[in-house]
Structure 1
Amino acid sequence: MNRINVKKFGFAMGLTGALLYAGCMIVMATAGQEGSIAFFNSLLHGLDTTSIIRMDVPLWEATIGIIQTFIVAWLIGALIAAFYNAQLKRR
């Protein structure tokens, strides 16, 4: 079995998370509040997001959010790769 490069896999996961965050921003910007609520309600198996959808998100807050999402997803990806590689050593 091949080893996974921890940094590269972490980066791939971080970039994927950031792209999903950007996709969420695009949905909210184009669909409006009612469309966003309908979209996220269907995506989350009927969970009512009416009370948590906030449309007046400042640009600085969205920027911090996408950076935080990248960091958290990078850490998750790096951990997955590290755990995978550690499992290979045991065999």
Structure 2
Amino acid sequence: MNRINVKKFGFAFGLTGALIYLGCMIVMTTTGQAGTILFFNSLLHGLDATSIIRMDVPILEAFFGIIQTFILGWLIGACIAAFYNVQIKTKRT
């Protein structure tokens, strides 16, 4: 079995999380509050997200949110790759 590059997998995981965060920002910007609530209610299997949707998110807070999401995603992806690599049985010659 092949080993996973920890840094590259972490980067891919972090970038994927940041893109999902950006997609959320786009949904909120383009659909308004009613559309955002409808979108997340259907995404969350009918869970009512009305009370947790906040539309007045400052730009700086959104910027820090996307950076934090990337960092957490990178750490999660790097851990997954490292744990995977530890479990691989290597052939000794």
Match of 1:65 in 2: 65
> What is the Cα deviation at residue 90 of structure 1?
6.8
Match of 1:4 in 2: 4
How far does the alpha carbon of each residue in 1:18-57 deviate from its partner, in whole angstroms, 9 at most, with x for none?
0000000000000000000000000001110000100000
Question: Is the radius of gyration larger for structure 1 or structure 2?
Answer: 2
Alpha-carbon separation, structure 1, partners of 2:5 and 2:11:
10
Unaligned runs of 5+ in 2: none
> What is the Cα deviation at residue 89 of structure 1?
3.9
Alpha-carbon separation, structure 2, partners of 1:89 and 1:54:
48
Unaligned runs of 5+ in 1: none
Alpha-carbon separation, structure 2, partners of 1:46 and 1:90:
46
**TM-score, scaled relative to structure 2:** 0.95
Runs (4+) off by over 3 Å:
none
The number of equivalent residue pairs is: 91
How far does the alpha carbon of each residue in 1:60-80 deviate from its partner, in whole angstroms, 9 at most, with x for none?
000000000001110110000
Match of 2:26 in 1: 26
Match of 1:45 in 2: 45
Alpha-carbon separation, structure 2, partners of 1:32 and 1:61:
19
Match of 1:77 in 2: 77
**TM-score, scaled relative to structure 1:** 0.97
